[in-house]
Amino acid sequence: MNIVVGVCGGIAAYKTAHLVRLFKKTGHDVRVVMTDSAQQFVTSMTFQALSGNEVATDLWDEQQEAAMGHISLAKWADWIVIAPATANTLSKIAQGIGDNLLTTTVLASDARLALLPAMNQQMWASSAVQANVAELVQRDVVMIGPDSGEQACGDVGAGRMVEPEQALKELGEIWHQSWSGKLVLITAGPTLEDIDPVRFIGNRSSGKMGYALAEQAARQGAEVILVSGPVALKLNHPNTDLIHVRSAQQMMDAVQAQLESNEFDVFIGAAAVADYTPIQVSEQKIKKSEHVSDEMVIQLKKNPDIIAGVAAHVNRPQCVLGFAAETQDVVGYAQSKLARKNLDWIAANDVSQSEIGFDSNENAITLIGKDSTHTIKQASKTHVAKELLEIILKDLEGSIHE
């Protein structure tokens, strides 16, 4: 594969040297483009030695541009990988600005683009940068990282460029499309059970775990249908189809409709479905003044068991995986749910821990199967999703118990 590696100005540029070495070691042809700022951190000679090719640095290099150097690079590349990708370069690419050799090459190329962001944690969290990231993801640009941790400036938070080995692993998963040909159905987020037009019963789910699973499966080649309760998240990937629902019954209906019309390989029930729903829903807002007593009783009935219905369906997917969000005896309750609902796997997580509980960006799960158990240590939900999918894929391919 032909890879153009773009290097921007940041202390993380030293990591890119190792990334180039890894690309070469795994059989790829690499050409490096450096911005002016990047050359303040690492010399072009370093990348020339590691890539085996002359390094391109100047849009105004008469010798290179006599042959339209940026156009030839753009046509040559199968992938363009920018590492580190600074806030400045992210902005330029998002806005279609081509004012240096790297950004001009990106604009002139139809190659897939991967960005490895690296910047101060406050810069990464800024609304402007996040808007640019969202725009780029919507265009199917691959974002790898950033990681969280201590930064060169002394701050701690998200913004560190991922390690080269991790970047190679994630890109390798995309290049090899390990989930290609698989059809996956996922539920995510909460369900909201209306009491009246302004009040509801629901669970404290952000949907982040389910969305991470959908995006990672799609990135690895799967066709994904995500049935989601109300969340403040976006899903942007060409291999995904998003179905919005509100209540448990609506989610059940959507899932059953999909099972009737498609042959799914995998179902992942990551939604936090409300166990009960009001028997009666008032058409008008219930007024506090209407009740003489200080107490109000709402009669509830059980909601349909979505995942048990999937496991018992005539078109049951090959693999049915559920989640068990518990606050005590996490593994015990999960094992009981696994057997009772005839699941293949269940992901147990302790939501009593605030750092991995509802609405957090990290998770840690115990993935329990009928005859094996795997521990996925605390990490970002994106990373947890990757590990979980890797285990499930091995199971689908029949190699996990060998």
Q: Which residues are catalytic?
A: 153
Please state, in angstroms and rounded to a whole number, the distance separating the CA atoms of residues 181 and 380. Answer: 27
CA 132 to CA 48: how far, in whole Å? Answer: 31
Whose tokens are 């189809």? That residue is 241
Write the DSSP string, 27-41. Answer: T-EEEEEE-TTGGGT
Q: Please state, in angstroms and rounded to a whole number, the distance separating the CA atoms of residues 283 and 196.
A: 6
What is the rounded radius of gyration, in angstroms, for the C-alpha atoms of the chain? 24
CA distance 79 to 262: 33
| Tokens representing residue 72 in the block | 């030839």
Q: Which pairs count as long-range contacts for 92-95, CB under 8 Å and 24+ apart, including other chains? A: 93/132, 93/136, 93/141, 94/131, 94/132, 94/135, 94/136, 95/132
Q: Where on the phi/psi map is residue 160: left (φ > 0), alpha (ψ -120 to 50), or beta?
A: beta
Q: What share of the chain is helix, strand, coil (3-state, %, to 5)?
A: 35, 25, 35
What is the spatial distance between Cα 334 and Cα 368, in angstroms, rounded to a whole number? 8
Q: Which residues contact 164 (CB under 8 A, 6 or more apart)?
A: 15, 16, 18, 19, 21, 22
DSSP letter (8 states) at residue 100: S
DSSP three-state, residue 326: strand
